[in-house]
Structure 1
């Protein structure tokens, strides 16, 4: 009697840039872009986020509660997937929706309005992806994840000041290993030759508004 091979679950890592929903005849899967790789997973984006939170020692609900405690944000909250390596991610819609995209902002070099309620993201590896999310919504999510990072960093600095020898075994990892230019959110000239357009992701008609 043959045994079925289990499909390994993709684990978010420091190279993960974006997780897109991929609708197929069998349901919603995930299309994952890393700095130097491109993968397909048979699991949903939210499932991958949840299991990755568990991999790094917490539950997804625990990460959401941590965001609420630090920032007060409860609607489409960004999360720290792994505080030790400062891996942050944010959803573009309510996380339970089939068209929700998960983005890892530490890899974004710039983003700009592409009109018709779309935003184009350029990542540090020069790859461009166009998504069906308005510029104002995307910019608001970027502001929320920046606030989460700031609040968490303030807590860590306060802890280090009060207990200066507490982090000798596990020193904090900086958000990025090298200096990065600030986000460029203005309108720029673009070429569509290398643009991956995901702005036509089919939306679930039942999801008329975020829950």
Structure 2
């Protein structure tokens, strides 16, 4: 797999993954290099990066990374492999892999754009997307179902965690005042006089 290092400031607008991104496909060029096809509602754009690197670049542009997103998903889901990633929780952009994200033939789907899916033979799944397009994936229905359920579980757990955290922040607590200790190394709480 080809790896490119791109600085955040160099990210091309057409490489941006947005709420309109439906699926990210692997695509090999004439020299055998892996690129990504970004399928949006009305257009398909070719990116000069692998799907994995494209998602990583978009996460870095938002202040994270693929490793951080996968580690976060692993923590929330308590599952080690093939986890979805939250690209942007405010815009509900959750991407999940059809197979191992490290495989060159991995297809990434946006959870919000999967309308329905069904068996298509013994080892394939036909997925209907939000723009009435379809994609036939070479992954079994059972495996695809596990992947999409894991993505829904990640969305639910992230939302539940945020609600829990926000409700704890709103509760009033005891006031305190902090100042540096006499030695000036640490802060200590002091009572008002």
TM-score normalised to the size of structure 2? 0.77
The DSSP-based 3-state class of the residue aligned with 1:68 is: helix
RMSD: 1.7
Other-structure match for 2:120: 114
The DSSP-based 3-state class of the residue aligned with 1:66 is: helix
The 5 Å alignment of 1:184-195 reads: none
Q: 2:65 aligns with which of 47, 59, 63?
A: 59
Other-structure match for 2:28: 23
Counterpart Cα distance in 1 of 2:72 and 2:92: 14
Counterpart Cα distance in 1 of 2:88 and 2:108: 15
For this pair of structures, how many residues does the alignment match?
Answer: 160
Other-structure match for 1:43: 49
Other-structure match for 2:18: 13
Q: Aligned pair in 2 of structure 1 residues 25, 140: CA closer, same or farther (>3 Å)?
A: same
The CA deviation at 1:163 is 2.4
Other-structure match for 1:190: none
Other-structure match for 1:176: none
The 5 Å alignment of 1:53-202 reads: 53-164=59-170
TM-score normalised to the size of structure 1? 0.71
Counterpart Cα distance in 2 of 1:31 and 1:84: 24
The DSSP-based 3-state class of the residue aligned with 2:135 is: strand
The CA deviation at 1:73 is 1.6
Counterpart Cα distance in 1 of 2:96 and 2:161: 21
The CA deviation at 1:160 is 2.4
Counterpart Cα distance in 2 of 1:29 and 1:107: 22
The DSSP-based 3-state class of the residue aligned with 1:111 is: strand
Counterpart Cα distance in 1 of 2:135 and 2:52: 20
- Rg larger in structure: 2
Unaligned runs of 5+ in 2: 1-9, 172-193
The CA deviation at 1:85 is 1.6
The DSSP-based 3-state class of the residue aligned with 2:15 is: coil
Q: Provide Cα deviations, 1:19-73, integer angstroms capped at 9, x if missing partner.
A: 1111233211112211121111221101101001111111111111111111112
Counterpart Cα distance in 2 of 1:17 and 1:7: 20
The CA deviation at 1:92 is 1.4
